[in-house]
Amino acid sequence: MFSSLSKTLLVLAAALGVNAAQSTLQQQTGNWGSNPTGVGFYYYKPPNLPVNPALIVAIHYCTGTAQAYFTGTNYANLADTYKYIVIYPDAPDSGGCWDVHTTATLTHNGGGDSIAIANMVRYAISNWGVDSGRVFMTGTSSGAMMTNVLAGAYPDLFQAGAAFAGVPYGCFAGPDMWNTPCATGQITKTAQQWGDQARSGYPGYTGARPKLQIWQGTLDTTLNYHNFAEGVKQWTNVFGYSGTASQVQQNSPLSGWTRSIYGPNFQAISAAGVDHNIPVQANDVLNWFGITGGGSNPPTTTTGPTTTVPPTTSPTTTSNGAAQTQWGQCGGIGWTGPTTCAAPYTCHALNSYYSQCY
């Protein structure tokens, strides 16, 4: 059942990137909180951390590991510049997938894999001085599903999230680790039903909820693109927004990608022609979190077709021959943007569809 998924996600691992962080991934052992399923607790702390740093929980895909997501994404590299901590949970399942289906994991303090991740955050706040007002989550595939789970079950712990190629909160609910009807896009609910399901993760909770981005490729067949529209229904209902986007940005953040903004707390980015192996846009995520660019405020937007360029420490990019910034795309099938990198970076081909400056 998992063979085709595993093959797809091995390609996904190759597409994510290459890590060049200054320090190494560390493991937290000992008693750091309830961990009924045996989730591994790994973290990255860059040199010269400030007092009360921000925290990002970065959650790997099926077949992945904490080490693979540390190596394959740029959150640790960017932590060297922006001085935040990254926690990389490690799934206990033999296939590397997260428990996003049990009632325990879908319920606040109910158990499952999610309570372990919540307790990692609580430990970091209590023992590392993490700013409880700057705690964020992101993940890919199964990690994106867990991002949605945490948004529903632990809205009190996180201020924002970004989910790459996931499914709505509760879509995988059921007795089995893999939910074929959800994965193949056969589950359709009303916005109210999806919203009620997300709210059921923490009954009676009336506080602020983490703002959320969802990202998905239009050619995703591993977790069918139908789930993107269902996710829009869910989170627009949770935030009380119209199901029609108030603003749409074309070619944002990459050529052919469309960012639909429903309000300050929710946006959905559709990647035309991209399959399940969606490239993680870490710079954009950091801007959404307020770590770069707009501080703690939601990103500012404009109406009509625009192109959003995530802030970096390198020169601005254009498609007219200017150099691409660090971590930006510089090639691949269908790419029409810059193909050279700003000094001292060079363009590396990660797969046929994605090359990156580093």
For 192, the token pair is 């109210």
Q: Which helix (H) or strand (E) holds 162?
A: strand 160-164
Q: Which amino acid does the sequence have at 303?
A: T
Q: Which of 141, 252, 260, 355 is catalytic?
A: 141
What distances in angstroms separate CA 137 from CA 59, 80, 164, 280, 308, one per listed residue? 8, 18, 11, 13, 22
* Annotation says 141 is catalytic: yes
For 336, the token pair is 């029409």
Environment class of 20 (CB within 10 Å of its CB; exposed 0-12, middle 13-18, buried 19+): exposed
How far, in Å, CA of 83 to CA of 248, rounded? 32
Cβ-based neighbours of 57, under 8 Å, separated by 6 or more: 86, 87, 89, 117, 120, 121, 135, 136, 137, 138, 150, 158
Q: Residue 215 in contact with residue 279, Cβ under 8 Å? A: no
Pairing state of beta strands 211-217 and 160-164? parallel
How far, in Å, CA of 109 to CA of 102, rounded? 13
How far, in Å, CA of 269 to CA of 30, rounded? 39
Closest CA to 79 of 279, 278, 286: 286
In terms of residues, how long is the chain? 358
Could you list the active site residues? Answer: 141
